[in-house]
Amino acid sequence: MTTSLVAVQLLNGVEYGLLLFLVASGLTIIFGVLGVLNFAHGSFYMLGAYLAYFIAERTGSLLFAALLGLPVMVLVGFLVERLAISRLYARDHLSQVLLTYGLVLVFNDLQRALFGNEVHGVPMPRALTGSVALGEMQSWPVYRIFTSVACLCIALLLRQVILGTRFGMRVRAGASNAEMVEALGIDVRKLFSALFTAGAVLAALSGMLAAPLTTVYPGMGEGILIVSFVVVVIGGIGSIKGAFAGALLVGIADTFGKVLLPGVSSAVVYAVMAAVLLFRPRGLLGQPALQR
């Protein structure tokens, strides 16, 4: 590979990684703070994409779809947490997995009933349809640059919220010791509810951003869910910074795996995960159990 090709592939990897981060960030927060293995996270991603398709097709604007669709997802996230997830905080992971996997099936059938089985395309926003040259043959769609920048902005915003606000402080406190937080007079129920909703909205937002790039199809949530779990495990459960590092690592490993080891490329990401876990069993930035 020439240097310029390596640079282009690095760019591809970072771009893929940034989108993965946006999906995985919600997953890692919910896992880290609420202690819930949320299989339905992929369904929220899918719902976001379908909402983007559904609204954009009727209004002709992806921005409008996001403005209309995100409040819908706030409601969905809130209801799912209140009606289902909140009842299982005290149970073990197996019950939670069964519940959230059940939700996956429900959402898949809902999608089938509401939107059908066809593959749908979502047009890019008109202002972002251009492209810039990348090397002599390839060009880089402006929309891909836009999604990368958007993901980066959201990452910085998340960091600001977690580290710089009272809400973020409670989240961090809840992550390390929920019982103590409750004893100090903070309503953990409300905190968890808000966090789960935020996670669902983040997943849906990633689905909306990705929709024009990926097209919208049944089962799109499952694929992204598995990679997101890999990202969360590599990064360290509950660590947003870790998810960021993990997402970039997975994005780059996947990209170079496809070019250098095409026959076994699907295994590369998992090999990276295994290697990370061998040396850091709690992930790159995961904390030892005692401190959590």
Site for other proteins, rule CB under 8 A:
1-2, 5, 8-9, 12-13, 15-16, 117-121, 123, 131, 133, 135, 137-141, 143-144, 213-215, 217-220, 223, 254-256, 258-259, 262-263, 265-266
| Closest distance of CB 236 from other proteins, Å | 24
Copy the structure tokens of residue 282. 């709690």
Q: How far is the CB of 101 from other proteins (least distance, A)?
A: 18
Q: Using the minimum distance from each CB to other proteins, give the nearer residue, 108 or 176.
A: 108
Q: How far is CA 20 from the centre of its chain?
A: 6
Residue 106 CA, chain-centre distance (Å), reads: 20
**Closest separation in Å from C-beta 213 to other proteins:** 7
Q: Is the dihedral of CA 156, 159, 163, 168 positive or negative?
A: positive
Q: Which is nearer to other proteins, 131 or 287 (CB)?
A: 131
Question: 96 CB contacts (<8 Å, ≥6 apart)?
Answer: 36, 37, 38, 85, 88
For other proteins, give the closer residue by CB, 168 or 218. 218
Residue type, 224: I
Question: DSSP letters of 204-242?
Answer: HHHHHHHHHHH-B-TTHHHHHHHHHHHHHHHH-TT-HHH
Q: Residue 182 CB, nearest distance to other proteins (Å)? A: 33
CB nearer to other proteins: pick between 263 and 288: 263
CA distances from 160 to 92, 101, 116, 131, 241 (A): 32, 32, 40, 31, 12
Beta carbons of 77 and 197 less than 8 angstroms apart: yes
The Cα–Cα gap between 283 and 278 comes to: 9
Residue number, 13 or 26, with CB nearest to other proteins: 13
Q: Report the C-alpha gap between 122 and 61 in whole angstroms.
A: 10
- Give me the least distance between CB of 141 and other proteins, in Å please: 4
As measured in angstroms, the least distance from the Cβ of 264 to other proteins is 8
212 or 283, CB closer to other proteins? 212
